[in-house]
Structure 1
Amino acid sequence: MNVKDYDNFVRTTTQFAHKPKEEMRSIALYGLVGEIGSLVAAIKKKILAEGGEEARWDRPNDEIKEELGDALWYCYSVSQITNDSHFDILAADIAALRTEIGSADERAQKIATSLDPAKRAEFLEAAKHFPPVGGYTFDAYQHLAFQTARTDGRVLLEVCLAVLWQLGAELLRVTLPKIEITLNKNVADRPSNIVLGEITWHLSAMASLYHMSLDDVVEANCAKVRFRSERGAHTPLHDEGRDTKEQFQRLFEVAFVRVGPQKSRMYFDGRPLGDDLTDNFYDDDGYRFHDVIHLALIAHLGWSPVVRGLMRRKRDSGNDRVDEVEDGGRAKVVEELVIKAIHSEGDKQAKAAGRCGIGAATRLFPARSLINFRLLKTLRMYVDGLEVEKNAFWEWEDAVFEGCEMFYRLCNEKQGTVVVDLTARKLTFSPTVSPSIHGAAVGLGMGSANSQAPLGEEILSAAEYDSARQMALVLETVAAKRAILDSLGLDKESCGLYSELEVRLDRTKRVYMKATKAVQERAWKLKAVDYRVAFTAVAGETICTASAIADLRDVSK
């Protein structure tokens, strides 16, 4: 890759360019030193994993390649922030090496004794013409710079690891107060550009030791950065062109209904979607709501063999093996693995960020930036060979982030309605539910509201939804609350119960509701999960009749 092109790439993909210069510099410096630490950790981890087997130490892996690329990105970012005009880190480093090796002082003589004479002469000759007028690649720098390596193999690797720590400390000196810079002289005090050149040399040397092309390292880094900074058109939905019965509905909702303590049930199109949900864990960690991440995969990727099967929308009408491969058991296992990987990594990131309060819901990936590229590559690796491998990394990131946000809201609310919009590629959430089931009435009630009578807490509760609504809707909401309480056999005149019942009516008078405390306990006892209402208006009074509805599967138990 052309070095000038990469320099421009870093400049255009810096996400903190809007911040004050001093803050930008701090972010870039700590970012670079942090990546050096991550690189050292990745290499040490690999060495330990090899069990000290000398013959395998120089086999590269994706983690090392990724950390090398990240460190290079921050090198260029620091350079751009430090220098008012363009500065070529690599060309300056070659010039500094030429001066150091080609001089006649004592240091140069010591270096000469450790270099192969032929390589030294070849380097000095080539360095005279570097950089070439037409530009150059990272590989060109890598090949030339490595000729100045004074050691090789595992010894050079250990040298690079140690020296990179020292160089990182040098860079951070500029962030210290003047008095500390004066008093702390254990670290050299040199211009940042010299230090950046030496860092890039050691990064390049490590790439050579692992038999990696520096161009390939940079290209991989560009691909990683682009997935956040460049968003193209959405990948076409994978069931496009199939019969509508074999497609995900382009707009649908799923209700997560509480049917008992730490037990939930999903409803879709008036029927249960799968089995009842529990955490299957000792602690109440909300994992029973992880199915909402499946819904996020549908919204953003158009993919979920698990939910497709539950909705009976498998693509089995043709002889193209799509049902067997894309909608079959193996694909479902892969999807569950994807969900578990997302949950585990999100939980780890939340704990690392200190976002796991005792007794509080865990916000998986509390910041979008915590969804690291390594996780996304792992997820893509899991789905290799399936249709969803076509989706871009940024689409995966959207699915992970929004799915985890919906998971957090469900964990907080303990129930909710999730609307899946495949056209807009998004999810929306409401804490109230309306499963619209065809079940059995387990309670009947009546309530009323009069515009002439004081409504007290009721009107405040009803008006929370939208104060601009007409009084008629306010009265219907209040009357519905009273009727639902009555249908549950509770005191419909008790203001204390009003705060334990949230009711929302849509344009068709469909009831969306949320019950808590005593109201929820009573609903569980009656096994009521849904409500039907009807309204009449008589002489300025709104009268509502309500039926509490239980799922037939619960009534038959």
Structure 2
Amino acid sequence: EELGDMLWYISNIASKFNLDLQEIAEDNLRKCNDRWGWRDSTETDNKNTSYIFDNEFPEHESLPRQFEVEITEVSQDNSVKMKAFINKEQIGNDLTDNSYKSDGYRFHDIFHFSYAAVLGWSVVTRSILKRKRKSHHLIDEVEDGGRAVAIEEGISALVFSYAKDHDFLEGVSTLDYQLLKTIKNMTSHLEVSQCSLGDWERAILMGYDVWRQVEKNRGGTVLIDIDAGLITYQI
């Protein structure tokens, strides 16, 4: 009886304000799926969650669908640095923590690789691998340009600050909605806006799972498989 009364009041309010209850319900279902949908998918379904934003570009302007990165740590010039290699050739620059206290941020390229693996998107990874889409001026300027790089680096730093307060996401299976919503807002004008909150959550959690192992072992091999939407670690 109480449920019936509540439904009557809801229907009455909706009628007075010309609200479509079916439309509201469908919108809420879309929001729930955007946030939680990936958790209801099977392992097989998850392999198809990554997006391909460079399908129509030549190979030299596309992210490689599978690649391995060898991560090493060296002590040099009174600082600890991270070096990354693909096929024994260094990619990117030597990285330090850029911090007064060691916190492992020198390994943060792993987060960019994770975005590439799960989201099919990472401006930073594209730059590191020299796969910018220069054949399309507007794409090169907007999607692969400096502002997009700054946004992705900002996301990496933002999430790292959050992760520090949560044991670097050890044993964490759910991220705060506000964090994910902030990331969505930061990327709303970019191609990665197609990715859901759940996609971002999965990319972040998988990235930190690999990061913790790399940080613990001071290096190792990171395997990125964009087709499978996976990033994994091996010593």
TM-score, normalising length: structure 1? 0.37
Which gives a bigger RCO, structure 1 or 2 (Cα 8 Å, sep 6+)? Answer: 2
CA–CA separation in structure 2 for the residues paired with 1:324 and 1:283:
36
Read off the aligned partner of 1:343 and give its amino acid letter.
F
Does 2:235 correspond to 1:420?
no
Whether the 8 Å CA contact 2:50–2:117 is kept in 1: the answer is no
Counterpart selection for 1:328 from 135, 138, 145? 145
Check conservation: 1:419, 1:427, Cα contact below 8 A: yes
Q: Where does residue 169 of structure 2 map in the other structure?
A: 364
User: Where does the alignment leave 5 or more consecutive residues of structure 1 unmatched?
Assistant: 1-87, 94-129, 132-137, 145-210, 356-362, 432-557
Q: 1:89 to 1:290 in 2, by over 3 A?
A: farther
Describe the SS at the equivalent of 1:273.
Answer: strand
Q: How many residues are matched?
A: 222
* SS of residue paired to 2:96: coil
Following the alignment from structure 1 to structure 2, what is the Cα–Cα distance between the partners of residues 366 and 392?
A: 22
Larger radius of gyration, structure 1 or 2? 1
Q: Structure 1 segments of 4 or more deviating over 4 A?
A: 141-144, 213-221, 230-233
* Among candidates 291, 295, 301, match of residue 109 of structure 2: 291
1:518-551 CA-partner distances (Å, limit 9, x unpaired): xxxxxxxxxxxxxxxxxxxxxxxxxxxxxxxxxx
- Pairing partner for 1:341 from 136, 144, 158: 158
Residues 221/283 of structure 1: CA separation in 2 closer, same or farther (3 Å cut)? farther
Structure-2-length-normalised TM-score: 0.83
Alpha carbons of structure 1 residues 345 and 222: separation in structure 2 relative to 1, 3 Å: farther
Q: Which residue of 1 aligns with 2:36?
A: 228
2:70 to 236, 250, 255: 255
CA distance in 2 between counterparts of 1:286 and 1:341 reads 15
Q: 1:91 to 1:365 in 2, by over 3 A?
A: farther
Structure 2 Cα separation of the partners of residues 338 and 263 of structure 1: 22
Q: Match for 2:186 among 373, 382, 386?
A: 382
For 1:251 and 1:315, the matched residues in 2 are separated by 19
- Kindly provide the CA deviation profile for residues 490-535 of structure 1, in whole angstroms up to 9, marking residues without a partner as x: xxxxxxxxxxxxxxxxxxxxxxxxxxxxxxxxxxxxxxxxxxxxxx
Q: Displacement of 1:244 after TM fit?
A: 0.6
CA distance in 2, matches of 1:248, 1:375: 27
CA 1:423–1:248 in 2, change beyond 3 Å: closer, same or farther? Answer: same
Query: Cα offset for 1:428?
Result: 1.4
Separation in 2, partners of 1:285, 1:235:
30
What do the CA deviations read for 1:210-263 (whole angstroms, capped 9, x no partner)?
Answer: x9x796886665344323145575353001121011111111011111111632
C-alpha separation in 2, matches of 1:92 and 1:383? 43
- Structure 2: distance between partners of 1:385 and 1:225: 22
Indicate yes or no: 2:158 matched with 1:245.
no
Do 2:14 and 2:20's aligned partners in 1 also have CA atoms closer than 8 Å?
A: no
The amino acid across from 2:58 in the alignment is D
Kept in 2: contact 1:254–1:268 (CA 8 A) = yes
Deviations 1:114-156 (A, max 9, x none): xxxxxxxxxxxxxxxx74xxxxxx7425469xxxxxxxxxxxx
CA offset at residue 399 of structure 1? 0.5
Aligned partner letter, 1:296: S
Contact 1:292 1:407 in 2 (8 A): yes
Question: How much is the aligned-residue C-alpha RMSD, in angstroms?
Answer: 2.8
| Gap regions ≥5 residues in structure 2 | none
Q: Is the 8 A contact 2:223 2:233 kept in 1?
A: yes
Specify the alignment match of 1:306 in structure 2. Answer: 124
The answer to whether the Cα contact below 8 Å between 1:299 and 1:421 also exists between their aligned partners in 2 is yes
State the identity %: 31
Q: Does 1:316 align with 2:134?
A: yes
Check whether the contact 1:376–1:397 (CA below 8 A) recurs between aligned residues: yes
1:374–1:214 CA distance, 2 compared to 1 (3 A)? farther
| CA-to-aligned-CA distance 1:310-346 (integer Å, 9 cap, x gap) | 2111111234x11111111011011111111221222
Cα distance in 2 for residues equivalent to 1:335 and 1:344: 14
Corresponding position: 1:405 with 2:209: yes
